[in-house]
Amino acid sequence: MNAMAETPPDGIYRGIPFDEYLGWDAVSNSALSRFARVPAAAWVPLEDSPALAIGRAVHCAALEPNRFPTAYRPKQFHGSTKDGKAEAAAALESGMNLLARAEWDDVSGMADAVRSHPAAAALLADGEAEASLLWTDAETGLRCKARVDWLAPDFAVDLKTTKDSSPSAFAKSIANFRYHVQQAHYRTGLESLGIPNDGFFFIAVDKTAPYPVGCYCITDAAEAVGFRLRQRGLRAWKKCVESGIWPAWRSPSIETLPLPAWAMIEEEKAE
């Protein structure tokens, strides 16, 4: 778990290491998403995983191509060999991230696909990567934070790696992973800090070759749902702060559950 760093005043911060950002004591979109499952989950840190590590590499390669060669390189040796262990130790000491050859190829392929997509290239033509925001929510008084993948002069972009970047599949991902709430959270932060944000766009890229890319914005109605869910979550968060109680239950009472419809149909077919 990341130790809490001293949280600076409200504002936009550039060049902040990700670990330092994680240590800021403020409500993030990811914490709010965990809170929506059960409040106590907000304090369970998101464990790192190979998928998250690859996602960070793709972000670096696609959004910070000048930094990528100094931050990542492919492994030269198998990790279990003497040379591999020495390579890993040297990389750890220098801060270099090592990728297996297949991972390197996928990361490079995804980044190239994003940069060569006409709309994605236009979205990323002017701006800065990984801008960190801190602000105070106007209604609840809670400190909030966000790390914007790409901040252009008057809009923001979020880069997502996904199994399927087709319109229908990514629309489901938006609902399942609460990307519309993330958009609301980020746009609220930008507005609170007086930063122009006339639009919010998603660039979605498949994790497997040939790495198809889709560029999307959501409807006003979908965004409105995101804003309502975000504010509802912050109100509930504030109640937990005030009471000191962060429940791990889904409901405090006994609930009656029916069988899923498919189970009822299977039983009827068996007769």
Cβ pair 132, 193 in contact under 8 A: no
List 13's β-bridge partners, or say none: 132
Q: What is the DSSP letter of 142?
A: -
**What percent of the chain has a predicted confidence (pLDDT) above 70?**
96
- Which band of pLDDT confidence, cut at 50, 70 and 90, is reported for residue 271? low
Rounded to two decimals, the pTM is 0.91
pLDDT of 1 reads 40
Amino acid identity at 151: L
- Select from 62, 48, 263 the least CA-distant residue to 158: 62
Nearest-angstrom CA–CA distance, 30 and 182: 8
Mean pLDDT of 9-29: 95
How high does pLDDT run on average in the chain? 94
Q: What is the widest separation between alpha-carbon atoms in the chain?
A: 67
- Select from 104, 100, 129, 126 the least CA-distant residue to 18: 129
* Beta strands at 72-74 and 11-13: parallel, antiparallel or unpaired: unpaired
Nearest-angstrom CA–CA distance, 80 and 27: 40
Q: Does the pLDDT of residue 205 top 90, yes or no?
A: yes
